[in-house]
């Protein structure tokens, strides 16, 4: 089967700043890939290119059968297959949890309101928040809001989930709440790419870890690479306790 995600020599510039310098990697179905690296190494830009939130300057990028590098890409079709969760929850404050989750299925997938409610309750149960369906975002903790954001993506039944530093705004207890949800998704076979600074989590959940440095893939391997880094750059990164 073709890979769910395939980047081949992808370059991305912002003006004079060359952020991605020939990045190539693939993600197989059911695989969990963690991207680590210092701020500015290009990891979040790579993730945003996968969902076409940024366009690549050169190279090819295929995601769930969509040629993301193609200017003629049907972005709406891509977004039906790819869910993305950010550091900020981006929930609509004037809508209840249930309304936040049913919005996508009813407006994008043209699902009936009744069917969307059934799906919303399923995914809320999955993230342990079924009892919060009628609450408003402001009534929830940061960890609960992030879990609702994950549920909202899951309601679209994506083939691929992307997570961009989803715990970096949370304290350790709330971080644990969110990471347990992601661990459960991994156990159920969801294909995922995570940009994370949680090394213990990456070690425990990821099938493949990619260390990015200066816009390139510097090291790539399974969790054992964190115990035995081959480059001084990864050694230094891990030595800083990041």
Mean pLDDT of residues grouped by 10 in the chain (242 residues)?
91 96 96 94 95 95 96 92 90 96 91 95 94 96 93 94 89 87 92 93 93 96 92 90 48
Helix (H) or strand (E) holding 45: helix 43-50
The pLDDT assigned to 239 comes to 87
Residues in the chain, overall count: 242
The pLDDT assigned to 240 comes to 65
Going from N- to C-terminal start, the domains of the chain cover 5-239
The pLDDT assigned to 242 comes to 44
Secondary-structure class of domain 5-239 per CATH? alpha beta
pTM, to two decimals? 0.92
User: Which regions of the chain does DSSP assign to beta strands (E)?
Assistant: 5-14, 17-27, 32-36, 58-63, 66-67, 82-85, 160-164, 191-195, 208-213, 216-221
């Amino acid at each position: 089967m073709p890979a769910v995600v395939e980047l081949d020599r992808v370059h991305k510039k912002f003006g004079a700043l060359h952020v991605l310098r020939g990045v190539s990697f693939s993600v197989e179905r059911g695989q969990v890939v963690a991207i680590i690296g210092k701020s500015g190494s290009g990891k979040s830009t790579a993730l945003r290119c996968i969902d076409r939130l940024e366009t690549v300057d050169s190279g090819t990028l295929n995601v769930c059968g969509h040629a993301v590098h193609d200017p003629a890409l049907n972005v709406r079709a891509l977004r039906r297959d790819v869910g993305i969760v950010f550091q900020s929850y981006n929930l609509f404050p004037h809508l209840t949890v249930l309304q936040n989750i049913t919005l996508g299925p009813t407006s994008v997938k043209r699902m009936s309101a009744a069917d969307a409610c059934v799906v919303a309750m399923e995914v809320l149960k999955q993230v342990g928040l079924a009892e919060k369906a009628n609450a408003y975002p402001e009534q929830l903790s940061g960890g609960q809001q992030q879990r609702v954001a994950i549920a909202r993506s899951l309601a679209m039944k994506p083939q691929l989930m992307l997570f961009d530093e989803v715990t970096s705004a949370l304290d350790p207890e709330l971080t644990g709440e969110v990471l347990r949800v992601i661990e459960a998704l991994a156990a159920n076979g969801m294909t995922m790419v995570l940009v994370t600074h949680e090394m213990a989590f990456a070690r425990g959940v990821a099938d493949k870890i990619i260390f990015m440095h200066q816009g390139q893939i510097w090291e790539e391997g399974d969790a054992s690479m964190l115990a035995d880094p081959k480059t001084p750059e990864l050694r230094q990164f891990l030595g800083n306790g990041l």
